[in-house]
């Protein structure tokens, strides 16, 4: 599969502050990519550079192999859906969609046919004459998406298009958005602050932190092989725990020694351990391989409990699951045990 978008050593500085630093990744043709990371990590700046609304301080953007770094937005064959949707309030849904269809490529007859086509694509055929104020938030989002798709762009950029919707509508539209992207085959890059959303939608997840690329890969790759403790925490929602290397395949968390952990580090070296919540067990604090902890909160999480406890060693908050009805309550002293073979080890303290 060829690369539709190549971001090469991209950096952007605003007033001496780096918004992006040497970011590189590629998006295959027809793929759905999501940019994720904490607020202020550079996601929207990167999207605006792809759209041609910002110029990078250094680096390149290649679209289908051609240098588009300084190409104006109109020449990039890009459709954009902004977080606010940016619909014209005085125009109907059909008129909003038709707004971008102009020039010799779109005579009146072709224009109307295309508007009807994308209205059907987003499920709004019966609402063509309604103005934005007469549409729900989800319907407005569909109009904005239809307007972006109407000119048949080669690339679609989405800036948190679902963030203003309530959770129920958001979940339904997320599935529709993925289906529409698959049917159209348009290469898509979406900014989202919702890791679950990125994992559900994307073929490629690009994780940014403080303007730098932490990791890029498929959802499965990031969940199974997070490259850094940050990715393990932010994307895979794993517990990150401070530990030390011991001789052989052993590590220690405080006074608790855990055997069977491959680490390859010198004894005494500081390390970070990532433990999946599903492989973090609650047990008796007196057991040799258990880390003593005090329960801070117990929450309902579907058909199980989520237990949040603070380890006595280092004070790290960890999250674990327990069956409904488990006799665990805030303030209890418990033991926390980890599956040694499932732990991921990183050099250096968290």
Query: By residue range, what is the domain housing residue 106?
Result: 3-231
CA–CA separation, 53 and 40 (whole Å): 18
How do residues 177-188 score in pLDDT, each as one tens digit? Answer: 999 999 999 999
How do residues 327-344 score in pLDDT, each as one tens digit? Answer: 999 999 999 999 998 999
Q: Structure tokens of 64?
A: 């289908």
Domain count, the chain: 2
- CATH code at position 62: 3.40.50.300
How much of the chain, in percent, has pLDDT values that exceed 90? 81
CA atoms lying within 13 Å on the CB side of residue 274: 21
* Nearest one of 339, 301, 338 to 323, comparing CA atoms: 301
pLDDT at residue 1, rounded to an integer: 56
- CATH code at position 252: 2.40.50.140
Burial class (CB in 10 A: 0-12, 13-18, 19+), 210: middle
pLDDT at residue 168, rounded to an integer: 79
Count other C-beta atoms under 10 Å from residue 133's C-beta: 9
pLDDT at residue 268, rounded to an integer: 95
Mean pLDDT of the 104-116 span? 85
DSSP 8-state code for residue 99: T
pLDDT at residue 108, rounded to an integer: 80
Shared domain check, 289 and 143: no
Shared domain check, 157 and 121: yes
Name the band, by pLDDT with cuts 50, 70 and 90, for residue 110. Answer: confident
Shared domain check, 112 and 18: yes
Mean pLDDT of the 301-309 span? 92
Mean pLDDT of the 90-103 span? 90
**Which of 196, 231, 266 is at the close of a domain?**
231
pLDDT at residue 288, rounded to an integer: 87
Shared domain check, 218 and 323: no
**Which of 174, 200, 231 is at the close of a domain?**
231
**Which of 231, 256, 290 is at the close of a domain?**
231
Helix 137-149, helix 167-184: angle, nearest 10: 20
CA–CA separation, 142 and 138 (whole Å): 6
Shared domain check, 243 and 226: no
Is the CB of residue 23 less than 8 Å from the CB of residue 213? yes
pLDDT at residue 256, rounded to an integer: 94
pTM: 0.92
Shared domain check, 253 and 159: no
Q: Is the pLDDT score of 86 beyond 90?
A: no
How do residues 116-168 score in pLDDT, each as one tens digit? Answer: 999 999 999 999 999 999 999 889 999 999 999 999 999 999 999 888 778 77
Residue with tokens 């599956």: 339
Shared domain check, 224 and 149: yes
Is the CB of residue 27 less than 8 Å from the CB of residue 3? yes
Q: Sign of the C-alpha dihedral, residues 55, 60, 62, 67?
A: positive
Mean pLDDT of the 212-217 span? 98
Helix (H, G, I), strand (E, B) or coil at 49: helix
Return the ∠ at Cα 215 (arms to 212 and 218), rounded to 5°: 145
Strands 333-338 and 291-301: antiparallel
CA–CA separation, 70 and 85 (whole Å): 25
Shared domain check, 152 and 291: no
Name the band, by pLDDT with cuts 50, 70 and 90, for residue 104. Answer: confident
Shared domain check, 186 and 286: no
Shared domain check, 198 and 179: yes
Between 110 and 258, whose confidence is greater?
Answer: 258
Is the CB of residue 306 less than 8 Å from the CB of residue 276? no
Between 108 and 217, whose confidence is greater?
Answer: 217
CA–CA separation, 324 and 168 (whole Å): 25
Beta strands in the chain (DSSP E): 3-14, 17-28, 32-36, 58-63, 66-67, 78-81, 155-159, 187-191, 204-209, 212-217, 239-246, 250-253, 256-259, 270-275, 280-283, 291-301, 304-311, 317-323, 333-338, 344-347
CA–CA separation, 287 and 176 (whole Å): 49
Residue 159: its H or E element: strand 155-159
Shared domain check, 130 and 63: yes
How do residues 247-297 score in pLDDT, each as one tens digit? Answer: 989 999 999 999 999 998 999 999 999 999 989 999 998 888 899 999 999
Shared domain check, 224 and 244: no
Mean pLDDT over the full length of the chain: 93
pLDDT at residue 73, rounded to an integer: 93
Residue 191: its H or E element: strand 187-191
CA distances 111 to 86, 102, 152, 237, Å, are 21, 8, 12, 47
What's the N-to-C CA distance of the chain in angstroms?
37
Name the band, by pLDDT with cuts 50, 70 and 90, for residue 8. Answer: very high
How do residues 159-174 score in pLDDT, each as one tens digit? Answer: 998 887 787 778 888 8
């Amino acid at each position: 599969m060829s690369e539709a978008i190549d971001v090469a050593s991209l950096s952007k500085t605003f007033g001496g502050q780096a918004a992006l630093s040497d970011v590189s990744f590629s998006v295959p043709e027809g793929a759905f990519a999501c940019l994720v990371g904490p607020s202020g990590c550079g996601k929207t700046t990167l999207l605006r550079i792809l759209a041609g609304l910002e110029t990078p301080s250094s680096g390149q953007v290649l679209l289908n192999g051609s240098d588009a770094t300084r190409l104006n937005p109109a020449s990039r064959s890009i459709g954009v859906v902004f977080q606010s949707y940016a619909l014209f309030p005085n125009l109907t849904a059909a008129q909003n969609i038709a707004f971008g269809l102009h020039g010799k490529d779109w005579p009146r007859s072709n224009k109307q046919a295309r508007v009807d086509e994308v209205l059907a694509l987003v499920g709004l055929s019966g609402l063509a004459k309604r103005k934005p104020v007469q549409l729900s938030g989800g319907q407005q989002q569909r109009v904005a998406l239809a307007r972006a798709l109407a000119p048949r762009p080669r690339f679609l950029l989405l800036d948190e298009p679902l963030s203003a919707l309530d959770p129920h509508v958001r979940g339904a539209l997320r599935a529709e958005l993925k289906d529409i992207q698959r049917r159209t085959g348009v290469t898509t890059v979406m900014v989202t602050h919702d890791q679950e959303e990125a994992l559900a939608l994307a073929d490629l997840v690009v994780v940014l932190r403080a303007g730098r690329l932490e990791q890029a890969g498929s959802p499965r790759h990031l969940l199974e092989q997070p490259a850094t403790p940050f990715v393990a925490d932010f994307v895979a929602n794993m517990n990150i725990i401070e530990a030390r290397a011991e001789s052989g395949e052993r590590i220690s968390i405080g006074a608790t020694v855990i055997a069977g952990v491959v680490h390859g580090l010198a004894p005494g070296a500081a390390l970070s351990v990532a433990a999946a919540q599903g492989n973090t067990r609650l047990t008796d604090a007196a057991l040799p391989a258990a880390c003593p902890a005090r329960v801070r909160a117990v929450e309902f999480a579907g058909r199980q409990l989520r237990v949040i406890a603070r380890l006595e060693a280092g004070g790290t908050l960890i999250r674990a699951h327990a069956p409904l009805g488990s006799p665990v309550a805030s303030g209890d002293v418990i033991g926390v045990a980890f599956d040694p073979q499932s732990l991921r080890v990183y050099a250096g303290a968290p």
